[in-house]
């Protein structure tokens, strides 16, 4: 991370394009409204600790209003619209996202802490693509393999995390609307702003009031939403612990549930892997988005015969990562999203050291203000270490070794999680052999962290159930 002869000057993306209001209400029934029983709290830029705005922590009555608005819209308008027309609304939303893409990317980086290059080149384009993809299903549901005329469920209550705020919103809202449901969505407490901007996009699209409702808030708001009796479908992305609680709370109801939870993915590198690309895949796997990725490749399983060489290359590569201002176009690693998350990462890293793993980070200047953690790797890790089992959700890589494919497989599967896995080898048969046996919902071979609206994503075991993306992603929102 040190500067050499070719020192990249600051290349800041301008904030001027974004207009953040001093405070926001709730988006209910097509309008921004004041809370009934909600309180207000501040949202902060994690890179600078600057207060960005004041938003509402919706109370139970607010949630009730939102669900009622969604129900009214479902009964009165949305369920009566032919799929063809629903699709055209979604196309409008997709187009509006494309038109406002720069504004949304900047806003996302400011509120979340992720580098502008990622929000600009990955997050926002995928958001538009999700809306485009699902727009096209709205009038083709009879061809989707769920029977000639599959019906929606009604009102969906959706709770999303802070790591890809707008993208998680798209993953939830696009299929829900395409299949004919209406939604009440709660963005994460620390990242409400792009969801509120999306509310404005709904307004620009002339989306019928109440089809999309955005209620901001924290855990209590989320609980009120998923437990609301007027909700027919619950979709949650977040921690396994909260996922468990939600699964308990819908027991005995008729609510349909999908969950996308945590992971501790193994990124497996064999001795015949294309090494330089494997290094990129490892870096992308755990340091992309500061490691705040449920499917992050947080365990590197390196075949013992090439482990040293791989680590040398990896360490050298980590030395070129640039950590700093998320709005600088050359930043690779942005801020940790919140002080709570930073504390957790620090705590688990300390545990790693205590348990005897060897810790290494490239030399890194951390800014004075904001929440920062340098890319870190632990070598000499084994399955018995806590840092090999528990999800850290930060830029921390645990490195283990293996000798044979069977051993790699065993270690990869030896976890209650099962979201994703990576396999690096030049041998096609081995890719397929591993993929067949890995108990993970997504297997990336010779690549990592690739997402596409056509490609179903979701976990095995305690990483959740249900799939988002693709034809499979429709199922969670249909009465099938």
Q: Assess 330 for contact with other proteins (CB under 8 A).
A: yes
3-state secondary structure of 73: helix
Cβ atoms of residues 173 and 183 within 8 Å: yes
Q: Assess 144 for contact with other proteins (CB under 8 A).
A: yes
Place of tokens 């963005």: 187
Beta-ladder partners of 155: 182
DSSP per residue over 316-338, as a string?
HHHTT--BS-TTBTT-SB---S-
Binding mask 85-114 for other proteins (x = CB under 8 A): --xx--x-----------------------
State the nearest-atom distance from the C-beta of 106 to other proteins, in Å. Answer: 14
Instruction: Tell me the helix, strand and coil percentages in the chain, rounded to 5.
Output: 40, 20, 40
3-state secondary structure of 226: helix
Look up 260 and say whether it is catalytic: yes
Q: Assess 329 for contact with other proteins (CB under 8 A).
A: yes
Q: For other proteins, which is the closer residue by CB, 64 or 328? A: 328
Q: Tell me phi and psi for residue 314, to 5 degrees.
A: -65, -45
3-state secondary structure of 37: coil
3-state secondary structure of 79: helix
Enumerate residues 6+ apart whose C-beta is below 8 A from 224: 58, 59, 60, 63
Cβ atoms of residues 339 and 45 within 8 Å: no
Q: Catalytic residue, from 260, 391, 468, 475: name it.
A: 260
State the nearest-atom distance from the C-beta of 238 to other proteins, in Å. Answer: 28
Binding mask 388-407 for other proteins (x = CB under 8 A): -----------------xx-
State the nearest-atom distance from the C-beta of 205 to other proteins, in Å. Answer: 14
Cβ atoms of residues 62 and 103 within 8 Å: no
Q: For other proteins, which is the closer residue by CB, 214 or 282? A: 282
Which residues, numbered 295-324, are part of the site for other proteins (CB under 8 A)?
305-306, 308-309, 312, 316, 320
Q: Tell me phi and psi for residue 453, to 5 degrees.
A: -60, -25
Among 69, 97, 135, 302, binds other proteins (CB under 8 A): 135
Q: Assess 132 for contact with other proteins (CB under 8 A).
A: yes
Q: For other proteins, which is the closer residue by CB, 135 or 212? A: 135
Among 276, 340, 358, 410, binds other proteins (CB under 8 A): 276
Q: For other proteins, which is the closer residue by CB, 40 or 88? A: 88
CA distances from 71 to 65, 221, 308 (A): 10, 18, 59
Stretch that binds other proteins, among 147-155, 272-280, 295-303, 414-422 (CB under 8 A): 272-280
- H runs (alpha helix) in 268-365: 275-287, 304-318, 339-354
State the nearest-atom distance from the C-beta of 120 to other proteins, in Å. Answer: 9
Q: Assess 175 for contact with other proteins (CB under 8 A).
A: no
Eight-state DSSP code of residue 464: E
Among 274, 339, 374, 380, binds other proteins (CB under 8 A): 274
Q: Which of 89, 55, 254, 87 is nearest to 155 (CA)?
A: 254
State the nearest-atom distance from the C-beta of 140 to other proteins, in Å. Answer: 7
Q: For other proteins, which is the closer residue by CB, 23 or 305? A: 305
Eight-state DSSP code of residue 10: P
State the nearest-atom distance from the C-beta of 84 to other proteins, in Å. Answer: 6
Which residues, numbered 416-435, are part of the site for other proteins (CB under 8 A)?
426, 428-430, 432-433
Among 37, 272, 353, 365, binds other proteins (CB under 8 A): 272
Q: Which residues of 27-61 are buried (b: 16+ CB within 10 A; e: fewer)?
A: bbbbeebebbebeeeebbbbbbeeebbebbbbbbe
Look up 294 and say whether it is catalytic: yes
Q: Tell me phi and psi for residue 12, to 5 degrees.
A: -75, 135
State the nearest-atom distance from the C-beta of 337 to other proteins, in Å. Answer: 23
Q: For other proteins, which is the closer residue by CB, 134 or 236? A: 134
Cβ atoms of residues 107 and 430 within 8 Å: no
Q: How many residues sit in the footprint of other proteins (CB under 8 A)?
A: 58
Stretch that binds other proteins, among 126-134, 237-245, 248-256, 386-394 (CB under 8 A): 126-134
Q: Which of 281, 310, 246, 267 is nearest to 420 (CA)?
A: 267
Q: Catalytic residue, from 189, 202, 294, 364: name it.
A: 294
Stretch that binds other proteins, among 83-91, 185-193, 198-206, 240-248 (CB under 8 A): 83-91
Cβ atoms of residues 94 and 126 within 8 Å: no
Q: For other proteins, which is the closer residue by CB, 3 or 248? A: 3
Q: For the chain, first and last CA: distance in Å?
A: 52
State the nearest-atom distance from the C-beta of 138 to other proteins, in Å. Answer: 8
Q: Assess 280 for contact with other proteins (CB under 8 A).
A: yes
User: How many whole angstroms separate alpha carbon 431 and alpha carbon 25?
Assistant: 50
Among 15, 42, 80, 84, binds other proteins (CB under 8 A): 84
Catalytic residues: 260, 294
User: Which positions lie near other proteins, rule CB under 8 A?
Assistant: 4-11, 84, 87-88, 91, 117, 121, 129, 132-133, 135-140, 143-145, 272-277, 280-281, 305-306, 308-309, 312, 316, 320, 329-330, 405-406, 426, 428-430, 432-433, 436, 446-447, 453-454, 470-471
């Amino acid at each position: 991370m040190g500067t050499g002869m070719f020192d990249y000057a600051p290349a800041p993306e301008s904030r001027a394009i974004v207009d953040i209001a001093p405070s926001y209400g709730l988006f209910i029934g097509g309008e921004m409204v004041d809370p009934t029983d909600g309180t207000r709290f501040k949202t902060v830029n994690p890179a600078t600790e600057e207060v960005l705005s004041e938003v509402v922590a919706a109370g139970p009555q607010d949630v009730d209003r939102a669900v009622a608005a969604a129900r009214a819209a479902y009964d009165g308008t949305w369920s009566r619209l032919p799929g063809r027309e629903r699709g055209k609304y979604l196309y409008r939303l997709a187009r509006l996202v494309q038109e406002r893409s720069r504004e949304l990317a900047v806003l996302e980086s400011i509120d979340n802490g992720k580098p502008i290059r990622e929000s600009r080149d990955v997050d926002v384009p995928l958001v538009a693509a999700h809306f485009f993809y699902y727009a096209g299903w709205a009038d083709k549901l009879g061809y989707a393999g769920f029977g000639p005329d599959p019906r929606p469920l009604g009102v969906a209550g959706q709770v999303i995390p802070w790591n890809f705020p707008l993208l998680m919103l798209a993953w939830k809202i696009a299929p829900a609307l395409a299949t004919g449901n209406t939604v009440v969505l709660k963005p994460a407490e620390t990242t409400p702003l792009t969801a509120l901007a999306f509310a404005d996009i709904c307004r620009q699209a002339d989306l019928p009031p109440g089809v999309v409702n955005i209620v901001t808030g924290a855990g209590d708001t989320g609980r009120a939403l998923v437990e609301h009796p007027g909700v027919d479908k619950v979709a949650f992305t977040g921690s396994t612990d909260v996922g468990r609680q939600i699964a308990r709370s819908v027991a005995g109801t008729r609510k349909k549930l999908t969950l996308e939870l945590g992971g501790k993915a193994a990124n497996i590198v064999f001795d015949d892997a294309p090494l330089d690309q494997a290094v990129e895949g490892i870096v992308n796997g755990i340091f992309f988005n500061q490691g705040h990725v449920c499917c992050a490749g947080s365990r590197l399983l390196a075949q013992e015969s090439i482990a040293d060489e791989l680590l040398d290359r990896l360490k050298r590569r980590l030395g070129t990562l640039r950590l700093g201002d998320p709005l600088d176009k050359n930043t690779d690693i942005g801020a940790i999203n919140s002080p709570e998350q930073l504390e957790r990462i620090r705590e688990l890293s300390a545990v790693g050291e205590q348990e005897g793993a060897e810790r290494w980070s490239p030399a890194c200047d951390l800014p004075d203000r904001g929440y920062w953690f340098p890319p870190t790797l632990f070598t000499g890790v084994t399955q018995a270490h806590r840092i090999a089992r528990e999800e850290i959700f930060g830029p921390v890589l645990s490195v283990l070794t293996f000798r044979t494919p069977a051993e790699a497989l065993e270690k990869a599967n030896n976890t209650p999680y099962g979201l994703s896995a990576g396999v690096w080898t030049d041998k096609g048969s081995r890719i397929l052999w591993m993929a067949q046996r890995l108990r993970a919902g997504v297997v990336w071979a010779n690549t990592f962290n690739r997402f596409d609206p056509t490609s179903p994503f979701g976990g095995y075991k305690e990483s959740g159930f249900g799939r988002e993306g693709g034809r499979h992603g429709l199922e969670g929102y249909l009465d099938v």
